[in-house]
Amino acid sequence: MNRRRALLTLAGLALCPVCARNGLAAEGAHHWSYEGDGGPAKWADLDAANKVCAIGSQQSPIDIGTSVKSQLPPLKIDWAKSADTIVNNGHTIQLNFAEGSALTLGNVKYKLVQVHFHRPSEHLIAGKNFPMEAHFVHRADSGGLAVVGVLLTAGKANAAFSQIAATMPAKEGEPVKADAGINPNVLLPGKRDYYRYSGSLTTPPCAEVVEWLVLTTPVQVADADVASFAKLYPMNARPAQQMNRRFVLQSS
């Protein structure tokens, strides 16, 4: 198995919300956390599969400062108007999607797999973070990933996020049926300009197989809904990683 195929395999395991319970994830993978002995600085020491968390050269998230205006392809988003299941997986709240939702980027089509949330935002813009960030994870048939990052800022209530906050499981457990009223499209801004760069998963095993597409326009959510999430996960964001001579492109 070559290096890239191995990374794609690890990435697939990391995206599965129940793999650890089914014995498919690497031994010890569920011991990582965001603080203390299992925190980001220790991820690479917890399991051999996590070594890239420390030695990788294209790690995520990053602080997006200088970017290069480019003629990037538009994000062609075709998502269903509901999610399949919702789960508290011990690290975040995650919604999983059935077959049929997709993102097309240029000539590559990616299937929407799941969306999960971080508090505060993992990506920074010119040194500034936001109250939260949503990551819409898509997978191509080749195994490569494209993640649409949506920055969430304080403001008026967002119908989809309010429904997520009202129905998210309070304790870690198996996925349950998601409320039919949660429409993921409502979590997208009207303007779809974006930053693009090559990076990694922001959780172990930190596989460097991700095309990051961070939308430049934040989406407003209610303070009360952020507070509800914070009762479960007051901090679940990996610190910004080194750029290592990477370029960030910005659609124009």
Convert the pLDDT of each residue in 140-152 to its tens digit: 999 999 999 999 9
Asked if CATH classification 3.10.200.10 holds for the domain at 3-251, the reply, yes or no, is: yes
How is the chain split into domains, by residue range?
A: 3-251
- Catalytically active residues are 91
The answer to whether 212 and 59 have CB atoms below 8 angstroms apart is no
Q: Quick one: pLDDT at residue 6?
A: 46
What is d(CA 217, CA 148) in angstroms, rounded to the nearest whole number?
A: 12
Q: Quick one: pLDDT at residue 143?
A: 94
H helix or E strand, kind and range, residue 213: strand 210-215
Q: Quick one: pLDDT at residue 252?
A: 82
- Cis amide linkage into residue 131, ω under 30° from 0: no
For the residues 227-236, what does the mean pLDDT come to? 98
What is d(CA 71, CA 33) in angstroms, rounded to the nearest whole number?
A: 38
